[in-house]
Chain A
Amino acid sequence: MSTETSSYIVENATCTFCGCVCDDMFLTVEGNRITKAKNACVLGKAWFAEHTVEDRPFALVEGKEASTAEAVEAAAEILAKARFPVVYGLSDTTCEAQRQAVAIADMIGANIDTTTSVCHGPTGMAFQGVGESTATLGEVKNRADLIIYWGGNPAESHPRHFTRYTLTPKGMFTPNGRKDRTVVLVDVRRTPSARAADIFVQVKPKTDFEVLWALRALVNDRYVSPSIEEETGVSLDTLRDLAERMKNCRYGVLFFGMGLTMTRGRHFNAGALLALATDLNQYTHFVAKPVRGHGNVTGADNVVTWQTGYPFAVNFSRGYPRFNPGEFTSVDLLARNEADAALIIASDPGSNFPHEAVAHMGRIPTIVLDPKRTYTTDLARVAFTTATYGINTGGTVYRMDDVPIPLRPAFPSPYPSDEEILKAIKARIRELLNLPETAIF
């Protein structure tokens, strides 16, 4: 490993911590750690500071230290033998690794699912139902004069969303930046993001759907009863004002978060919001966009879609992809004790899945790829230590608006990348299953 003597700067590096995927980082690298991350937000700074090269075993098999090759052998044997393996995670790794993960799932007839199923999965389902009018973030910067955030707290979850993409930047048709925009926040509580808004609308918990549907009615000149206030905590006058602002803006945007998708109504909420944005295009230009969390969860949606036709919750057990959230979503499948092996990539379901699902992962042979020790690595039969994407490895990630961004690794890691490990596992499974070598994908 390098020593303190080597210090250099990596320009235009990409932060993969959240879905903003800011690619304007100036990283100061000293030895095998990043000592300064210029332009990073508080979350990005922590991400860069904490991903050093730690002295961890290359792998653990049954709790004992092992080489990567030994762990590949163990993992391949588990997966080749499994009758109902699940592949899960994928939102904090490169598209290159995601492509390998889907290839493995296809080859062994596994279930594959991503963290989308526990964040914006309902948005994916709503999208299938009603479509989506959307835009890249630069269009918001250049054009938007009305920006509405619904069910999210970007000030704390995506700190640079406001400053790099949406509220304050000066754009082509927004030369005065923040002064050229009206900003609305809709949420069930007054979060720190409310300070950035001109208008804060507080909705009673579990009534987002009703508020969205009332707005659709008003936008389409339908009757809405004044009792809406009692129901939702939002007065009819407030809704009328909001509806008028939406119809009369030049370029409007509805950003939405998990406050909408993971509360009562789920995909109905997301569908109502997307339908509202569509309706508004009768009057003006209006777009909507989920504010995605993990650095490459959007890439996972894209890769799984282009390889299978579906964005998440895909099952290959019949030899071709099938999609059914609820049946093929990992939480449900694990909690029903259906899986007999698990391959978890760059995700920690051990820390955030419901108890039944986590308990089942502990009972079956579970394989984990992660740069860090996590709840999931602790319960795993095989745990690989991996290089960190964006810090140690190159590759591609998709920003929350589907824009692909390249990674510029800051310093090398002694540990292999997810892609390298998955390729090795794939090759070994192919041998174990006696599959022809003519396969290339």
Chain B
Amino acid sequence: MSSSFRIVNGKVHDPANGIDGRIQDICVQDGKIVADVSPEARRIDVSGMVVMPGGIDMHCHIAGGKVNLARKLQPEDHRLDVHPRTPFTRSGTGGTVPSTFTTGYRYAMLGYTTAMEAAVAPMGARHVLEELNDTPILDKGYFMLLGDNLMLYKLLKEGRHEEFRQAVAWWFNAGKAYAPKLVNPGGGEPWKHRNSNVVNLDDEVDYFDISPRKIIEALTTTANDLGLPHPAHIHCNNLGIGGNYETTLNTMRTITGRRAHITHIQFHSYGGEFGGKPTSKAKDIAEYINAHPEVSADVGQVMFGHATGMTADAPLAWMLQSVSGNKWVNCDIENESGCGVVPIVYQDTNYVHALQWGIGLELFLLSDDPWRMVLSTDHPNGGSFLSYPKLIRLLMDRQFRNEQIRSVNQRAMKSTVLLDDLEREYTLQEIAIITRAAPARLLGLQEKGHLAPGADADITIYMESENKEEMFTTPRYVFKDGRLIIEDGEFRSDHEGRILHVAPDYDPAIEEVIRPFFEDYYTIEFANYAVGDEYLHRHQVVPTTDQ
């Protein structure tokens, strides 16, 4: 198979390099974008097509313990949506929680080439790495849950800040993770104490004499100090609760001066009385983010239809179970975290569901800076990643959007600004930002999300079409690491993507601080806890700012 290509006559959208629809050649050699290739390189004429960097999903749930529980939970979801094998690709099943191979292939079929699993407890590091290794095509990494870590709580409670920093760095190396994740910080411990939760940022976390605010401050600061490529990735407290926008604003105020990413912010933008019927506060949230460049967010759009709630926010999953009566999985993970899983169906006639859908659209449309408000559905929490093309059409096609807005629960729409016929239509360039260039920049992946020489040759080429959903559903060509994976909409090759992880420096003396805690409270030996390199296979260490 040819390893060098010259892609000619395509309309290139490469926002990171200021290229907005210019017709220019893209050359590929040995897995990278290059300035020029020899005349023998295969020439692909893409006249009438749009060339973008490969898509990057910076927040999704695709691998690891809770994902596998969600797969196991829903045979009905798989039976309706099978993925047959080919002579060179593996079979699998789909639904909202596809099997690993199907996950990789289906992302590739949408033109996505990188995805980040958003929440894994360190104890599950081996598990998530094994699954990611069975997720083809994509480059991938995972975010490590550190906001409910009792060893870190202990150090924080005792004011041992330097050891806290060293321990976080040790944990990244032990687990081969990419970024620090906080989920409902402080809420995991009360959940395990008779199903309680924290509500306010200054609530005391049972037995530990710390608060959600202290946890947020400590981990945000540490991520900044360690120079991690992606900062603290925060799922705020009170997800899904009416009136929670104040918690979200308070969280963002808490991180002032430090970089942080607030995830699936749609679920955290609700007004109304606390715990009561929600209303939209998308405007307040969007305005805050517009004015604060240190904060970035992904939307966490809700799409109507089947979804699976899966989260390290175990009290939230219990609430969803109580509301829906659906089958429910909970798993407490010793000293580190927990998780919950509940199948969900979002209905356009339902006030709350329609409101959630509407708030997501408002956030996209009211946000000034697409570099800091990127596309996600928190797959599969708000909907499957397979719904991204439809979401893109909602953003790009005002008429289509207005038709949809008029067809859903109108009481919910009245709580939003959507009935005002917002004029904004995302351009192809803005779509390239929120699905490629911005996620790459926010993740600190310098060789991704753009098409200048030196970048990874992860390229997606779409046939331009008026119907943006159709256009983004079936890319004509997809390159991964310079290999032609999809041609004329069909698979041509399988591919093993890389595990992306960080390895911040740490003082090995911290192990002697952590070890006694393991001996007292863990059930796995300290010596067997850290993950060896044999779990990495193809991988890339993304350097910190000091490395």
Q: Which residue of A lies closest to B528 (CB)?
A: A23
Residue from A142, A408, A435 having most chain B Cβ neighbours under 10 A = A142
| Interfacial chain B residues near A106, Cβ < 8 Å | 85, 90-91
How distant is the Cα of A278 from the Cα of B341 in the complex, in angstroms? 13
Contact with B along A307-338 (1 / 0, CB 8 A): 11111000010111111000000000000000
Stretch in B74-82, B163-171, B225-233 with 4+ CB within 8 Å of A: B74-82
Most chain B Cβ neighbours within 10 Å, of A302, A309, A316: A309
Question: Across the interface, which residues of A come within 8 angstroms of B74, CB to CB?
Answer: 128
Instruction: Verify if B539 is at the interface (C-beta below 8 Å from A).
Output: no
- Assess whether A310 is in contact with B78, with CB atoms less than 8 Å apart: yes
Stretch at the interface among A45-53, A346-354, A398-406: A398-406
B525 touches A321 (CB 8 A): no
A6-55 contacts to B, CB under 8 A, are 11-12, 14, 23-24
Contact present for A307 and B101 (CB under 8 Å): yes
- Chain B: minimal CB distance from A285 (Å): 5
Nearest residue (CB) in A for B63 is: A306
Decide if B522 is an interface residue (CB 8 Å cutoff).
yes
User: B1, B92, B332: which has the most chain A beta carbons within 10 Å?
Assistant: B332
| 8 Å CB interface, A276-325 against B | 278, 281, 284-285, 287, 301-303, 305-311, 316, 318-323
Contact B73 A439 (CB under 8 A): no
* A320 touches which of B93, B328, B528 (Cβ 8 Å): B93
Query: Which residues of A124-165 have CB atoms within 8 Å of chain B's CB atoms?
Result: 124, 127-139, 141-143, 164-165
8 Å CB contact of A131 from B68, B83, B341: B341
Residue B334, interface by CB 8 Å: yes
Q: Which residues of A contact B330 (CB under 8 A)?
A: 132-134, 281, 287
Give the residue of A132, A138, A307, A406 whose beta carbon is less than 8 angstroms from that of B528: A406
Query: A134-B331, A135-B331, A308-B99 in contact; A319/B65 too (CB < 8 A)?
Result: no
In the complex where A142-B335, A165-B523, A439-B494 touch, is A307 in contact with B84 (Cβ < 8 A)? no
- B92, A309: Cβ atoms closer than 8 Å: yes
Which chain A residues lie closer than 8 Å to B72 at the CB level? Answer: 124, 127-128, 301, 305, 310-311
CB distance from A438 to the nearest CB of B (A): 5
Mark B499-536 against chain A: 1 for CB-CB distance below 8 A, else 0: 00000000000000000000011111101100010100
**Does residue A256 face the partner (Cβ distance < 8 Å to B)?**
no
Q: How many residues of A contact B (CB 8 A)?
A: 70
- Contacts A309-B98, A321-B78, A403-B123; A139 near B334 (Cβ below 8 A): yes
Most chain B CB within 10 A, of A131, A139, A302, is at A131
Of chain B, the residue at the smallest CB distance from A25 is B525
| Docked complex Cα distance between A309 and B71 (Å) | 6
B218 CB to nearest chain A CB (Å):
21
Q: Chain A residues with Cβ under 8 A from B85's Cβ?
A: 106-107, 316, 319-320
Complex: A40 Cα to B273 Cα, angstroms:
58
Judge whether A250 is part of the interface by a CB distance below 8 angstroms: yes
Q: Chain A nearest CB: distance from B2 CB in Å?
A: 13
Question: Cβ of A74 < 8 Å from any Cβ of B?
Answer: no
Interface string of B90-122 (1 = CB under 8 A from A): 111101011111000000000000000000000
Using Cβ atoms and an 8 Å threshold, which residues of chain A touch B496?
440-441
Q: Is A95 engaged at the interface, CB distance under 8 Å to the other chain?
A: yes
Return the chain B residue nearest A132 by Cβ. Answer: B329
In the complex, per-residue mask of B336-349: 1 if CB is within 8 Å of any chain A CB, else 0: 00100100000000
A130 close to B91 (CB less than 8 A): no
B73 touches A128 (CB 8 A): yes
User: Smallest distance from the beta carbon of B330 to chain A beta carbons, Å?
Assistant: 4
From the candidates B89, B327, B524, name the one contacting A403 in the complex (CB within 8 A). Answer: B524
The answer to whether B84 and A305 touch across the interface, beta carbons within 8 angstroms, is no
Contact A320 B91 (CB under 8 A): yes
Nearest chain A CB to B194 CB, angstrom units: 5
- Given the contacts A136-B333, A139-B192, A251-B192, A404 and B328 also touching, CB distance less than 8 Å: no
Q: Which residue of B lies closest to A171 (CB)?
A: B521
Q: Which of B99, B124, B191, B527 contacts A309 (CB 8 A)?
A: B99
**Knowing A131-B73, A307-B101, A321-B82 touch, does A11 contact B527 (C-beta < 8 A)?**
yes
**In the complex the two chains form, what is the Cα distance from A404 to B341 in whole Å?**
20
**Interface presence of A432 (CB below 8 A):** no
- Does residue B195 face the partner (Cβ distance < 8 Å to A)? yes
- A438 in contact with B493 given A14-B528, A139-B332, A305-B71 (CB within 8 Å): yes
Which of these, B91, B99, B195, B335, contacts A281 with CB under 8 Å?
A: B195
Q: Give chain B's interface residue range (CB within 8 Å of chain A).
A: 35 or more
Question: How many Å from the CB of B522 to the closest CB on chain A?
Answer: 6
Q: Mark B367-399, 1 if CB is under 8 A from A, else 0.
A: 000000000000000000000000000000000
Interface residues of A in 403-437 (CB under 8 A from B): 403-406, 408, 435-436
Alpha-carbon separation in the docked complex, A323 to B74 (Å): 11
* B87 adjacent to A404 (CB under 8 Å): no
Structural contact, A322 and B493, CB atoms closer than 8 A? no
When distances are taken between beta carbons in the complex, the residues of chain B under 8 Å from A124 are 72
User: In chain A, residues 87-134, which have Cβ atoms closer than 8 Å to a Cβ of chain B?
Assistant: 95, 99, 103, 106-107, 124, 127-134
B136 contacts A441, C-beta separation under 8 Å: yes
Task: Tell me whether A172 is interfacial, beta carbon within 8 Å.
Answer: yes
- Please measure, in the bound complex, the distance between the C-alpha atom of A139 and the C-alpha atom of B336, giving whole angstroms: 10
B334 CB contact (under 8 Å) in A14, A138, A250: A138
Chain B residues with CB under 8 Å of A323's CB are 75, 78-79
Among B18-26, B127-135, B284-292, B465-473, the stretch in contact with A: B127-135
Asked if A193 CB lies within 8 Å of chain B CBs, one says no
Q: How far is the CB of B205 from chain A (nearest CB, A)?
A: 14
Which A residues touch B338, using CB under 8 A? 135
Would A439 and B335 count as touching, CB distance under 8 A? no
B contact residues around A305 at 8 Å (CB): 68, 71-72, 99
A394 CA to B126 CA, complexed, in Å: 14
CB proximity of B203 to chain A, nearest CB, Å? 18
B334: chain A residues within 8 A (beta carbon): 135-139, 141-142
- Given A307-B99, A440-B136, the answer on whether A285 and B83 have CB atoms closer than 8 Å is no
Contacts of A440 in B (CB 8 A): 136, 494-496
The smallest C-beta distance from B273 to any residue of chain A, in angstroms, reads: 24
> Taking CB as reference atom, which chain B residue is nearest A308?
B99
Q: Which residue of A lies closest to B123 (CB)?
A: A403
Interface centre among A305, A310, A396 (most CB of B within 10 A): A305
Hey, which chain A residues are within 8 Å of B335, CB to CB? 138, 142
Inter-chain CA distance A103–B91, complex, in Å, is 9
Distance of B68 from chain A, by nearest CB (Å): 5
Please give me the residue from chain A that is nearest to B150 by CB atom.
A172
* Cβ distance B196 to chain A, nearest Cβ, rounded Å: 9
Shortest CB–CB separation between residue B335 and chain A, in angstroms? 7
B87 CB contacts on chain A under 8 angstroms: 435-436, 439
Interface centre among A284, A308, A319, A408 (most CB of B within 10 A): A308
- Can you name the residue of chain A whose Cβ is closest to the Cβ of B91? A320
Closest-CB distance, A296 to chain B (whole angstroms): 13
**B532 x A406 contact (CB < 8 A):** yes
Expressed in whole angstroms, the Cα–Cα distance for A124 and B332 within the complex equals 19
A residues less than 8 Å from B521 (CB atoms): 138, 141-142, 171-172
Q: Point out the residue from B98, B494, B532 that lies within 8 Å of A441, measured CB to CB.
A: B494
Q: CB-CB < 8 A to A24: which residues of B?
A: 525
Give every chain A residue within 8 A of B93 (Cβ-Cβ): 308-310, 320-321
- CA gap between A405 and B72 in the complex, in Å: 21
Find out whether the CB atom of B130 lies under 8 angstroms from the CB atom of A404: yes
CB distance from A289 to the nearest CB of B (A): 10
> Are A307 and B134 in touch, CB under 8 angstroms?
yes
Closest to B77 in A: A309
Please provide the 4 A-B residue pairs with the shortest distance between their CB atoms, ordered closest to farther.
A138-B334, A309-B93, A135-B332, A404-B126
Give the interface of A toward B (CB within 8 A): 11-12, 14, 23-24, 95, 99, 103, 106-107, 124, 127-139, 141-143, 164-165, 171-172, 250-251, 278, 281, 284-285, 287, 301-303, 305-311, 316, 318-323, 394, 396, 398, 402-406, 408, 435-436, 438-441
Q: List 8 A-B contacts (CB under 8 A).
A: A141-B523, A165-B523, A278-B328, A309-B95, A311-B72, A318-B82, A320-B82, A322-B79
